[in-house]
Amino acid sequence: MKNFLYRVPFVLWLFLIATALVAQVQEEPTSGQEDGSVLTVQQNADEEPADMTPDDHPLTSGQVMGIGVRGPQHSFWVPDFRVAQILDSNPYMTPQSHYRGYTSLNGDLQLIQYLGRDASIRYAGAVRFDTQAQIQGLQQFTNAHALSISKQFRSHAWDLLMDNETQYSQGANFGATGMEGLGSVITTTSAWGGIGNIQLESTALQPDLVPNQSILTLRSGRISNTILGEADYRPDGLYTFTMTGFYGLLHFTQSGLIDTAQEGLVFGVNRALTPYDSIALEYGYSNFTFSGTSQSLTNNYFGVLYGRRITGRIAASVGAGPQYISDGRPADNNNQLGWQARGTLDWQMKQVGLHASVIRSLTGGSGVLFGAYTNSVQGGLDYGFWRNWDANMIFGYARNTAIISAQRYDAQYLGVTATRHAGRNRDIFFSYNLQNQTSSGCAATTCAVSGIRHVFGIGFVWSHDPIGIY
Q: Is the per-residue pLDDT at 193 higher than 80?
A: no
Across the range 40-57, mean pLDDT stands at 55
Q: Is the per-residue pLDDT at 283 higher than 80?
A: yes
Q: Is the per-residue pLDDT at 44 higher than 80?
A: no
Report residue 465's pLDDT band, with 50, 70 and 90 as the boundaries. Answer: confident
Q: Is 331 exposed, middle or buried (0-12, 13-18, 19+ CB in 10 A)?
A: exposed
Report residue 195's pLDDT band, with 50, 70 and 90 as the boundaries. Answer: low
**pLDDT value at residue 199:** 58
**pLDDT value at residue 233:** 97
Q: Is the per-residue pLDDT at 292 higher than 90?
A: no
Q: Which residues is 316 bridged to in the sheet?
A: 308, 345
Q: Which of 430, 410, 405 is nearest to 420 (CA)?
A: 430
**pLDDT value at residue 410:** 95
**CA gap 355, 392 in Å, rounded:** 12
**CA gap 70, 89 in Å, rounded:** 42
Report pLDDT digits (tens) over 399-451.
Answer: 999 988 788 999 999 999 999 998 888 999 999 999 999 988 765 445 677 88
Domain residue spans of the chain: 2-25+35-468
Q: Is 155 exposed, middle or buried (0-12, 13-18, 19+ CB in 10 A)?
A: exposed
Angle ∠(430,432,437) on CA atoms, nearest 5: 170
**pLDDT value at residue 43:** 37
**CA gap 297, 403 in Å, rounded:** 9
Q: Is the per-residue pLDDT at 10 higher than 50?
A: no
Q: How large a percentage of the chain has pLDDT more than 70?
A: 83
Across the range 269-283, mean pLDDT stands at 97
Report pLDDT digits (tens) over 346-400.
Answer: 998 888 889 999 999 999 999 999 999 999 999 999 888 788 899 999 999 999 9
**pLDDT value at residue 310:** 92
Whole-number average pLDDT of the chain:
84
The amino acid that residue 130 corresponds to is D
Residue 43 Cα to chain centre, angstroms: 23
Report pLDDT digits (tens) over 299-352.
Answer: 999 999 999 999 888 999 999 999 999 987 666 667 889 999 999 999 988 888
Across the range 90-108, mean pLDDT stands at 84
Report pLDDT digits (tens) over 200-215.
Answer: 677 789 999 999 999 9
Phi, psi of 23 (to 5 degrees): -65, -35
Across the range 222-233, mean pLDDT stands at 97
Phi, psi of 187 (to 5 degrees): -125, 5
Please state whether beta strands 389-402 and 314-327 pair in parallel, antiparallel, or not at all (unpaired): unpaired
